[in-house]
Structure 1
Amino acid sequence: MNERLHSVLAQRGVSPELLAEACEVDPKTIGRWLGGRVPHPRHRFRAAQHLRVEETFLWPAPQPHAGRRTGGLGSELVGTHQNRASVPRETWLALLKEAQEQIDVLVFSGTFFAQSNPHVAKMLAERAADGVQVRLCFGDPSGQAAAIRGREEGIGDTLAAKIRASLTYYRTLLPEARCEVRLHDTTLYNSLFRYDDNLLVNPHVFGQPASANPLLHLKRVDATGWFDNYAQSFEAVWAGARPWTPDQEGTAAHGQD
């Protein structure tokens, strides 16, 4: 139990529901915080600001165990895969099902994400209904970044077509609370797939499709490691991306390449 959070809420006369509204999370998430789960950095900041206390009072930094390395390769790297295509389907499904707070995806087309799991939109909607924040960020099919990437891969306009096809799977998510889909027009150095404190990083090699490139599985340890650097890059791209408005953009009618 987080006794300090319980105490401050009582002292300030703030209910879990009001704190959830201030932090833009589900009340169930506040219940998990009260039970001892440590929020993600942006939620810690908002909660402390709203309650007018120091963040470190509510969530003191854990002391590292003797001999434990913090941050970097040794502590955050769970495993590697020779290429994204070699990641077992069961791994993707398990991470999606087990997420409790947030799911973030940053790709150009991400076609495989839906075609390897035809029920992905339904599953994402179910996670959102349970209080998980879902943010999907695809390449803008009419943007310069997608055009350049298509030329670099030698597939021309095919990448833009793949993006439009992939987006059709997620149309049903747009009315769902806690689900957002945006389009970015930026150079992607990595595709990112975040499930709470698990992050799959798919580096992009020039001229090669993302599926043929390596994949790193990271687990968050602290705020000084690789995980947060990649997570912050997602936030930067997300902030500059625009909401997807399919009815105005002529998205493909069917989700096939």
Structure 2
Amino acid sequence: MNENLRHALIRARLQPLDVATHLTVDPKTVTRWLAGRIPHPRHRLAVADLLHVDENDLWPDSIRQRRGLSNEIKAVYPHRWTVPADTWRSFFESASKEICILVYSGLFLAEDAGLLRILAERAAVGVRVRILLGDPESPHVAARGVEEGTGGDVMAARVENALTLYRPLQDVDGVEIRLHRTVLYNSIYRADDELLVNLHAYGTRAPEAPVIYVTQTERDSTATTYLDSFERVWRNAMTASKHT
């Protein structure tokens, strides 16, 4: 039963026969729409216009599919800097099993003392915390700095600063920090089955690039792609203590 359509008809004081007459369709067709069948796109638009509502209000699932969206996309932020600080903190605080961070420097997190405390607290209650930073000597780190317009030396210095700030976490049981030498196509932040993915774009600094909030709803999903990517980088990374 399409409850949205039924309630819209009640509010408009129309009967299924009225809709059928207006659209020149069989009344049984409208009955099937009320039972849950999704109309042809032109009929969806016509019904929405007749009832003075948005098409998305009547058939939200259909609209999401048509636009290529899925239930696993929880939010899209136009820039990383538009993600509220409280969102980052509540995101990591919600983890009960695992926290993963894949970045080059992640300096904006490392400089947040409150967030570092959250990571330590989650590890103390059994949450596995894994942090992947770029190797300051990696040519990919230098290249990213050049791409962003800040310079290779600046990016390497940012990583070194982050390592210094993250270092106290290395003494916390349950926290592992490694260095990677891979091209970073996206920065990945994980709290159990939820991810914040900072999409990277050539010539654009990470804070200016979009972030998508994804939740893993099934094994073969968008989130799985990023989770698998993190694991591949993790396997080939070296322990930070061997470098610092």
Number of aligned residue pairs: give it: 180
Partner of 1:141: 136
Alignment of 1:152-231 (within 5 A): 152-156=147-151, 157-231=153-227
Partner of 1:58: none
Q: CA deviation at 1:144?
A: 1.1
Contact 1:143 1:185 in 2 (8 A): yes
Q: CA deviation at 1:123?
A: 1.8
Q: CA deviation at 1:138?
A: 0.6
Q: CA deviation at 1:237?
A: 0.6
Contact 1:147 1:160 in 2 (8 A): yes
Q: CA deviation at 1:142?
A: 0.9
Normalising to structure 1: TM-score of the pair? 0.66
Q: Matches of 2:217 and 2:237 in 1, distance apart?
A: 28
One-letter identity of the residue aligned with 2:150 = I
Contact 1:108 1:163 in 2 (8 A): yes
Q: Matches of 2:69 and 2:127 in 1, distance apart?
A: 28
Q: Matches of 2:80 and 2:99 in 1, distance apart?
A: 18
Q: CA deviation at 1:208?
A: 1.2
Give the 3-state SS of the residue equivalent to 1:186 in structure 2. coil
One-letter identity of the residue aligned with 1:140 = D
Q: 2:240 aligns with which of 235, 241, 244?
A: 244
Contact 2:89 2:118 in 1 (8 A): no
Q: CA deviation at 1:98?
A: 1.3
Go from structure 1 to structure 2 and tell me whether the alpha carbon gap of 1:230 and 1:73 turns closer, same or farther (over 3 Å shift). Answer: farther
One-letter identity of the residue aligned with 2:138 = G
One-letter identity of the residue aligned with 1:162 = R
Normalising to structure 2: TM-score of the pair? 0.70
Partner of 2:230: 234
Give the 3-state SS of the residue equivalent to 1:174 in structure 2. helix
Q: Matches of 2:164 and 2:69 in 1, distance apart?
A: 37
Q: Matches of 2:150 and 2:179 in 1, distance apart?
A: 20
* Shift >3 Å, 4+ stretches: none
Contact 1:121 1:172 in 2 (8 A): no
Q: CA deviation at 1:86?
A: 0.2
Q: Matches of 2:154 and 2:238 in 1, distance apart?
A: 22
Give the 3-state SS of the residue equivalent to 1:194 in structure 2. strand
Q: Does 1:130 align with 2:95?
A: no
One-letter identity of the residue aligned with 2:209 = N
Q: CA deviation at 1:178?
A: 1.2
Q: CA deviation at 1:76?
A: 0.6
**How much identity, in percent, do the aligned residues show?**
40
Q: 2:99 aligns with which of 92, 103, 108?
A: 103
Q: CA deviation at 1:95?
A: 1.1
Alignment of 1:33-48 (within 5 A): none
Partner of 2:56: none
Aligned-CA RMSD value: 1.9
Q: CA deviation at 1:113?
A: 1.1
Alpha-carbon displacement from aligned partner over 1:157-216 (angstroms, at most 9, x marks no partner): 100001111111111111222110001111011000000111001110001111100000
Partner of 2:79: 83
Is the helix fraction higher in 1 or 2?
2
Alpha-carbon displacement from aligned partner over 1:34-72 (angstroms, at most 9, x marks no partner): xxxxxxxxxxxxxxxxxxxxxxxxxxxxxxxxx998xx8
Q: Matches of 1:180 and 1:106 in 2, distance apart?
A: 12
Q: Matches of 1:153 and 1:97 in 2, distance apart?
A: 31
Contact 2:109 2:116 in 1 (8 A): no
Q: Matches of 2:210 and 2:150 in 1, distance apart?
A: 21
Give the 3-state SS of the residue equivalent to 2:150 in structure 1. coil
Give the 3-state SS of the residue equivalent to 1:245 in structure 2. helix
